[in-house]
Amino acid sequence: MSLEHVVGLGIVLFAIGAAGFFLRSNTVVLLLCIEVMLNAVNLILAGFSRYLHGAEGQVYIFMIMTVAAAEAAVGLAIIVALYRLLKTLDMSRINFLKG
């Protein structure tokens, strides 16, 4: 299992997450897509860490996981609040932030 395999898998995962983020409109799914992208990055970091025999990449992974957990908590809370307010989770209809 070479570096190329790991990085390739990370890129594919990231592309899937990004495409899902662009194309889907359900807010919960968008949150899932963000998680997929974050974990794709984690995967690449782990690959490089192993390839370079260093620990820095793994340290970053832990940081990202922490941030992702916090983000998921806040994001879910926002989603609950949004649903209570608007009775919908369709992002194409939630467009109040405009000039």
Partner 1 sequence: MLSESIWILPALPALGALANGLLGARWREKDIAAVAVGSVGLALATALALLAQMLSLPAGDRTFSVTLWRWLSDGALHVRVGFLLDSLAMVMVMVILFVGFLIHLYSAGYMKGEPGYRRYFVCLNLFVFFMLVLVLADNLVVTFVGWEGVGLCSYLLIGFWHEKKSACDAGRKAFVVNRIGDFGFLLGILMAAVTFGTVNYGDLARLLATGPAVSEGAVAAIALLLFVGAMGKSAQFPLHVWLPDAMEGPTPVSALIHAATMVNAGVYLMCRIAPFLEAPAVLPVIAVVGLVTALYASFCALGQRDIKRVLAYSTVSQIGYMFVALGCGLWAAGMFHLLTHGIFKGLLFLAAGAVIHALDGEQDLGRMGGLLRDLPAVSVTFMAGLLALAGIFPLSGFVSKDAILWGGFERYGTLFWVAAFGGALMTALYSGKLFSAFLGRRRFEGHPHRPGPLIVMPLATLAVFSLLAGIPGLPLFTADTFFARFLGMPAAQAAPDAAAHTLEVVLTVLQSLAVIAVLAGAIRLFTRERRLADPAVLASGFGIDNFYDLLLVRPLKACARFFAVIIDPRLIDGAVNGLGSLSLALGRLSAGLQTGQLRHYAVSLVAGAFVLIAITACLAGGF
Q: Is 84 in the site for partner 1 (CB under 8 A)?
A: no
> Among residues 18, 32, 79, 89, which is the contact residue for partner 1, using CB under 8 A?
18
Residue 40: Cβ within 10 Å count? 20
Q: What angle, 0 to 180 degrees and rounded to 10, lies between the N-to-C axes of helices 56-86 and 27-52?
A: 180
From 17-25, 40-48, 54-62, 71-79, span contacting partner 1 (CB under 8 A) = 17-25
> Among residues 21, 64, 71, 72, which is the contact residue for partner 1, using CB under 8 A?
21
Query: For residue 41, which of 4, 76, 66, 6 has the smallest C-alpha distance?
Result: 6
The C-alpha angle 20, 78, 91, rounded to 5 degrees, equals 40
Q: Is 31 in the site for partner 1 (CB under 8 A)?
A: no
Query: Hey, what are 64's tokens?
Result: 């990202």
Q: Is 92 in the site for partner 1 (CB under 8 A)?
A: yes
- Contacts with partner 1, residue ranges (CB under 8 A): 18, 21-23, 25, 30, 91-92, 94-99
